[in-house]
Amino acid sequence: MAVSGADWPKWRGPNGNGITSETVDPAGWDKEGPRRLWKAKVGVGYASAVVSQGRLYTLGNVDKSDVATLWCLDAETGTNLWQRTWPSELKPVMYDGGPNATPVVDGDRLFAVIKPARVVCLEAATGKVIWEKDVQAELQADVSDWGIVGSPLIVDSHVILNYGSNGTALDKATGEVKWSTGKRGNSYNVPAMAQLGGEPAVMVLATNALVALTLKDGKEQWRTPFGRGYFCHATDPLVRGDSVLISSADAGSELVRFKDGQPTVVWTNRLLGTFTSTAIEKDGFVYGINLCDTKQSGAELKCVEWETGRVRWAEKGFGQGTSLNAGDKLLMLSDKGELTAARFSPEKFELLRRDQVIGGTCWTPPILANGRLYVRNSAGELVCLEVGPNRAI
C-alpha cells in the first residue's frame, strides 16, 4: 500500500465528518507517547487548526489581549509564515475566552471568523485580505458573548454561517450578504448539507429547532422543534441519507427523517447528549461523548445505533473530550490532554494505549494531516505529534 497523506482543510476534516483517509500506528509510538515534532504558542482560544498545502492555520488571543491573531505556520516545522491581527475582545465568559470558530481553506482562499462576528477572506499563501464583512454591524442580529462559534461552511459560492435566527449566507467572492433569516436567536454549531427534492439544502440546528433551508435563497422548507430550556446546541447536525441526527446536552438526541419532504421524528432519547464534541457517524453507528443526565454515570463515550438510538456500549475516561476517526482507530483527546488510541467497532471498544500529550483544558478537537496529529489547549499551546504511518486506506 503506497504511503500518502491527506490535508485537513476545514472543520472536522476533508469531508466535514471527523473521518480521515489516513491510518495511525500506535504500536510504533515511543514509550512516552507519539514523538513531539514541535510546539508553538498561538494565544488563548478554542479554534481548531486546519492544514492545507503544507500550511497550518489557527486563531488565538496572544497574552490574553483583546486582539485576535490569525496564524499561518509551516505544518511540518511550526515556523511562522505570516500572521494577521484584528481587535477582538477576549471575553472569558464561563470559559477562558478567545476565538471559537475554526478557519476554512477553500482552494487558494482562507476564510475565518473574528469574534464576535467579523468574517474575513484572505489569500491563503500570503495573508492578503481580499474582503471583510462585519455581519453584526450590517444585519443587527443577536450575537452571544461567545460570538459566532461555528466554523464557516463553504458550499459552491456560499459562505454559510450559523448566525441570525436560522443562518446567514455570504457571497464567497465578495462577502456580500446573499440571504439571512432573522435577527433573534443564538446557536453554536456548524450547519450540515442535505438533499431535499433533488435540491441542495442547509440543515441548521438553531436555538430551539432544526430548520431546513434551500441553499440558493435561504427559504425555509420545514422546521421541527428541539430543546428543553437552556438551548445551547453546540454540536453539529449529522446527515445520513434521508435522515439527520441532532444532539445536545440539555435535550439528548433525536433522529429526524425527511424522506417525503417533511420531518418525521423517528426516535428521541436522553442516552446520548453531545455538548462540546460533535459525534462521529460511521456505517450506521454514532460514536459520541454523552454529557446528558450524567450525575450517576458521569461522561461516557457511547456507541449508538443510528436507526434505533439503542446504546451498544459505553466507555468512561475522556471527560468533556473530543475525537477523530482514522481507519479502524479512534483517537480521543480528553479534556485534560490525554490521548487515547483505540480500535473500535459497534461490538466493542478496544483500548490500545493512552498517553499524556498536552496539559491544560482541551475542548478543541485534534486534527490529523499527513501523518501528524495537531492538538491544542485553551491557553494556546499547540503541539505537533508524529503518529504515522499516514497510509491512505
Give the end of a domain, one of 128, 147, 166. 147
**Distance, CA of 331 to CA of 342 (rounded, Å):** 7
Question: How far apart, in whole angstroms, are the C-alpha atoms of residue 331 and residue 153?
Answer: 24
Q: pLDDT by residue (tens digit) across 333-377?
A: 999 999 999 999 999 999 999 999 999 999 999 999 999 999 999
> pLDDT digits over 268-298, tens only?
999 999 998 999 999 999 999 999 988 877 8
pLDDT score recorded for residue 322: 97
The CATH number of whichever domain residue 118 belongs to comes to 2.40.10.480
Question: How many whole angstroms separate alpha carbon 257 and alpha carbon 254?
Answer: 10
pLDDT of residue 380: 98
Q: What is the pLDDT of residue 3?
A: 37
Is 14 a domain residue? Answer: yes
The single residue listed with the C-alpha cell 442516552 is 271
Is there a domain that residue 193 lies in? no
Q: Kindly tell me if the per-residue pLDDT of 2 is higher than 60.
A: no
379 domain-assigned:
no
The DSSP line for 49-97 is PEEETTEEEEEEBGGG-SEEEEEEEETTT--EEEEEEEE-----SSS--
Residue 276, domain member (yes or no): yes
Residue numbers of the domain that contains 295: 1-36+244-365
Where does a domain end: 116, 147, 178?
A: 147
Q: How confident is the model at residue 390 (pLDDT cuts 50, 70, 90)?
A: low
Judge whether residue 263 has pLDDT over 90. yes
* 335, 348: one domain: yes
The answer to whether residue 203 is domain-embedded is no
- The pLDDT, as a whole number, for residue 378 is 98
Same domain, 53 and 77: yes
Last residue of a domain, one of 132, 147, 162: 147
Phi-psi region of 390 (alpha: psi -120 to 50; beta: other; left: phi over 0): left
Stretch 115-134: mean pLDDT, rounded? 98
Report helix, strand or coil for 26: helix
Give domain status of residue 86, yes or no. yes
Residue 88 sits in the same domain as residue 2:
no
275 & 320 share domain: yes
